[in-house]
Amino acid sequence: MSETITFPTMSKDEDAEGVLATWFVRTGETVRSGQVIAEVMVDKVSMDVEAPTSGTVTCLVEEEAAVRQGQEIARID
């Protein structure tokens, strides 16, 4: 079973683009539910992204990459 994690909605502007500012985990690592795995940013406002479940994480975008809200950024298996 796997769960996808998407870039959170931080701006009312649906087309707003954000940045995957920091990965705190690397692909293949085990994460716990609730663990902060990334920090994302839209217009210089940042936010932590937590793992919704425990498992093995796969990062789907590069650090510093521009990402749309709602886009998949990671998967946990």
Site residues, another protein (CB under 8 A) = 19, 21-22, 24-26, 29-30, 35-36, 39, 41, 44, 46
d(CA 25, CA 22): 9
Which position has the token pair 């709602």? 70
Edge-to-edge strands, sheet with 55-59? 3-6, 72-76, 55-59, 30-31
Pick between residue 12 and residue 44 the one whose CB is nearest to another protein: 44
Q: Pick between residue 14 and residue 28 the one whose CB is nearest to another protein.
A: 28
- Least Å distance, CB 29 to another protein, is 5
Q: Which residue in the block uniquely carries the two structure tokens 């909605």?
A: 9
- Kindly state the smallest distance separating residue 75's Cβ from another protein, in Å: 18
Select 21 or 60, whichever has its Cβ closest to another protein: 21
